[in-house]
Structure 1
């Protein structure tokens, strides 16, 4: 079984947010939910100021707390090929135990039916702009940017619901539907600075492995023992 990891080069990351936007586009992620996001902070006083921008996503931990607490096996490790943390919406009972156990805050719960904007009759500017419902009717899909590649199939270890249903959780799946076809996650492809690299940690020739051997790395909340699979290299503050 491959051990897929993601390496994020903070010296290359421009903080543009393309990873966040591309993730929403590829996976039909609704407003207010973020499978891929970021943290940022400014430390110090002018002129001695450090600005920190760290892209975030599900860490697909080896010792994933969300998997351990799921009572029905909906949140699970992909044992057949990648080792990523996946989710089966058909098994999910909406208990939110995974969300409470998640130390990274990357799991969202669908309390209502997804994408309410595209069913709304309200117009931002009456008699000038169209409502979300009118756009949906013209396009024929909810949401209008629906991606059939993320649609639901009988292969639960490959894909997910195209549009998440009410009463289940959702999170980054590291674009499993792309990775299993030999493609890169869309956030990796969309990054204009090539700051993201995905690869098999067990493959000595993978680019991810080479970067981790070349540079000092860190992972978020390593002290918790979750063994996250997202690595950050070349932190500006540490000058590594």
Structure 2
């Protein structure tokens, strides 16, 4: 039998500069609504001056091997694919939010309202007679919104409809084209390393052998496939 894949991401906290390029590139790539952050971060400051510590931890869907969102989805909208990705089928989603409740990491978002409503109804130019409105830009480019990335729609609705959830897919549409996730490509410090952890020759597998990786909330037993090495300085 062919070896089973398990796509994973290693984040080197020592290399991370906290620039949020990952967050911005993810939002642009996946057309996420205002207030949604498939790629996000945790900022922790502890202690009292001068004895203080600071941590910056990039976050995203952990694509858990033992994914509670998958176990709790009543329609199999949340499911695991052959490459170990935790994916979401928008056509099967009934918006019950059981997956969102089950996820201990807070990385699943619910479209309570029509996504990008502000952009869809932007009819007032910032400078009259000089700048275009959001509606005008969308009409010119022939898309729902002016910043729309049509590539996202290859494997998932380009903009998810009202009444369902959404989350990071490790940019599965880019993986299908042989490309890296947008956040990996955008990182200026090469702090994100992506690949098949079950392939001993992959950079991910080599890093996991060399370092003692950590995961978020290991006590939850979810077996995350986003792993952290080193420390943020």
Q: Which TM-score band (shorter chain)?
A: over 0.9
Q: Indicate the residue corresponding to 1:136 in structure 2.
A: 138
Number of corresponding residues? 229
Structure 1 residue 123 displacement after superposition: 2.9
What SS does the aligned partner of 1:217 have? coil
1:122 shift after superposition: 5.0
TM-score (norm 1): 0.90
Any conservation in 1 of the 2:26–2:38 contact (CA below 8 Å)?
A: yes
Cα-to-partner distance string for 1:49-100 (whole Å, 9 max, x where unaligned): 211000000000011010001111100000x3x1100000011111111111
Higher deviation after alignment, 68-77 or 36-45:
36-45
Equivalent residues in 2 for 1:68-79, closer than 5 Å: 68-78=71-81
Whether the aligned pair in 2 keeps the contact of 1:217 and 1:231 (CA below 8 Å) is yes
Q: After superposition, where does 1:70-149 map in structure 2 within 5 Å?
A: 70-78=73-81, 80=82, 82-121=83-122, 123=124, 125=126, 127=128, 129-149=131-151
Change (3 A) 1:236 1:20: closer
Per-residue Cα deviation, 1:29-67 (whole angstroms, up to 9, x for no partner):
111101110000211222222110000000000110100
Match of 2:175 in 1: 179
Is 1:169 aligned with 2:172? no
Q: Would the aligned equivalents of 2:126 and 2:133 in 1 still touch at CA under 8 Å?
A: no
- Answer whether contact 2:31 2:148 (CA < 8 A) is retained: yes
CA drift at 1:178:
1.3
* Aligned equivalents of 1:94, 1:211: Cα separation in 2: 38
Compared with structure 1, are the counterparts of its residues 98 and 215 closer, same or farther at alpha carbon in structure 2 (3 Å cutoff)?
A: same
Does the Cα contact within 8 Å between 1:123 and 1:129 map onto a contact in 2?
A: no
> TM-score, length-normalised on structure 2?
0.93
More displaced, 59-68 or 176-185? 176-185
| 1:76-131 alpha-carbon deviations (Å, 9 max, x no partner) | 000x3x11000000111111111111110000111122111222245374626443
Give yes or no for contact 1:200–1:209 (8 Å, CA) kept in 2.
yes
RMSD: 1.6
What's the offset of the Cα at 1:214?
1.5
- 4+ residue segments displaced more than 4 Å: none
Q: Structure 1, residues 8-36: CA drift from partner, whole Å, max 9, x if none?
A: 00000000000000001111111110111
